[in-house]
Chain A
Amino acid sequence: MIRWLKSASLGLLLSQAILAAEGDYEAQSGSGLLPGAVPGTVRFAGTDTSFGIGGRLETHASVGDVFFTAAQSGRDKLSFSQIPVSPQDISQNQFRFNSRDSRLWLRALHPGRNLDVYVEYDLAEEPDRYTFRLRHAYVSLGPLLAGRSYTTFINSSALPDIDSGTGPGEVSLKRVQLRWTQSLLDDSLDLAVALEEPDSYISDPDSARIRPYDKDQIPHVAARLTRRADWGEFSVASLVRSLRWQQDGQRLDKWSGGIGVSGRLNFGAVDNLRFIANYGNGLGRFFTSGAYADASVNREFSELDPHPVFSAQAAYQHYWSARWRSTLSLGLSRTNLPGSANEAMTARARSAQVNLFWSPVPALTVGFEYLHGHRQLLNGQDGELNRLLFSTRYTLQL
């Protein structure tokens, strides 16, 4: 409750700050509300700033396999590091409920100044309670975006419409960043360049544990070129980063990077194929929900070995009618681990998700989704997970 109040207070403070900056806060008091600059927002008469508040209430009920020792998130969403590889680790036909995909968002925008402020939360589940978790929080002023949002390495329109968790080829990572987006060729081509929050996920030679290191001194540099046309969108992206491991006064650095393509191809009016494919060195953290490390330290603790990683995801969305739709999403990824890596580390993953969603009105979606996930360790041991999910989502906005 306190966090809700904090969020509401943040929205009010934000609103007041922008109104005060315009110098017309006094002018609007006592006046009526008018439709805002975009759907889902309102503005006070006499001002040009629009405000929006909204969210969605989402409930999942699932039955299927769960890793006995899985973290809370791995019990409800696909998490490749928490797919059991040993029969005694699996709890079959477990029935679970959760509302962790519910969201709250706040927005303030001033179209005349190209100013847009956006904050979005979802829920993280802990035993017996939910807490707010920040997803996006950024200010965009014309071509400049500052704050936390999807990494520039990915085109977010390529992310599939699935509920049971991200596939092994998806990059849904969010980073704090400074991004400049330049429109070219009458807005049909965008070039985005960003400096992003750095961190390194590195494994020790004798352990399968992946540990985050935030001692990096150089931000990630990401660039994405996106072409838009009637057929859809196509992006080519690259990312360069410096990995750093630091422990007990010892320090190791290594440059690494990767390239990727992603996009959405339209078939007919509304059907579409969303795709993502990436290859890189030292980008493991970006894929497979963090099941891969970016690099590992060799046995002599003298060198950092970035792990080559490949991932691909394809999802076809078909509208059976205006109200019924389905998505089939297939994904795979693999990483080449060095000889010094622990044999219990995840080396390969794949998934298949298929759903049927019904939206009797735009704000409401009800549906079923089937999830199959598989992972294989470096030593060849493998395991799979199957779940059936029922979800309801109601979106509320002004």
Chain B
Amino acid sequence: MKYFLFGALFFLSMFLGACTQVDRTAVPADRSLRDEALHALMAQRIDGLYRRIEVLAHDQNRTLPELDEARQRTTNEIAANADTLSEYAAELTDLAATLDLSTANRQRFLALSGRLQDASDNVVLASAEGSSRSLTEAITGLQETCAACHSLYRDR
């Protein structure tokens, strides 16, 4: 009995811990980047999927071909998300006109929106290339772009 009580407590603590982790809610197809939370949500989702690939290195039961299949499936999901993000990034140009920004700031905003599109495209390309190093670099680039833009314009 004591073992099952211990087990139940352990399960509960780990489950509560999991609830505080990355939100894995898929992005609804009808939302656009005009929704201010969308950037963060999509980048977070790509980051979560990438972490899922990283932890495959700890899987000690599946064979290498089985792990490669799992890696490929998750990479395809990353590519699909990055592709959607790239499409939506194009909308940022229109969004700039609705923001209260100075001329210099507007130019910087447009430059960053272009950078987001490029970074998303890079993730798509790296996913297709199949190189883990390229994927790491591309996702890091995307994260940096998100951070740079959000620090300047998130509440405008």
Contact = CB atoms under 8 A, between A and B. Distances in A.
Interface of A: 35, 37-40, 52, 54, 105, 107, 109, 116, 118, 120, 136, 140, 149, 156-157, 159-161, 172, 187, 228, 230, 266-271, 316, 318-320, 322, 325-326, 328, 330, 352, 354, 357, 359, 362-363, 365, 372, 393, 395
Interface in B42-90: 47-49, 51-52, 54-55, 57-66, 68, 70-71, 73, 77
Nearest to B10: A328
Interface residues of B, number: 41
Name which of A52, A268, A269 has the most chain B CB atoms within 10 A of its CB: A269
B26 interface: yes
29 contacts: A38-B130, A52-B64, A107-B64, A118-B65, A149-B63, A156-B61, A156-B62, A161-B61, A172-B61, A187-B73, A230-B24, A267-B19, A268-B21, A268-B22, A269-B24, A269-B47, A269-B51, A270-B21, A270-B48, A271-B17, A271-B18, A316-B10, A319-B21, A320-B17, A326-B14, A328-B14, A352-B3, A365-B58, A372-B3
Contacts of A267: 15, 18-19, 21
B140 interface: no
Contacts of B58: 161, 325, 357, 359, 362, 365
B68 A38 contact: yes
B95 to A, nearest CB: 28
Contacts of B73: 187, 228
Given A330-B7, A352-B3, A270 B55 contact: yes
B21, B49, B73, most chain A CB atoms within 10 A: B21
Nearest to A362: B57
Contacts of B151: none
A270 B11 CA distance: 15
A133 to B, nearest CB: 15
B102 interface: no
A161 B14 contact: no
B43 to A, nearest CB: 13
A267 B26 CA distance: 14
A52 B64 CA distance: 10
B63 A271 contact: no
Contacts of A328: 7, 10-11, 14
B131 interface: yes
A157 B4 CA distance: 24
Given A161-B59, A269-B22, A105 B15 contact: no
A357 B49 CA distance: 22
Nearest to A231: B24
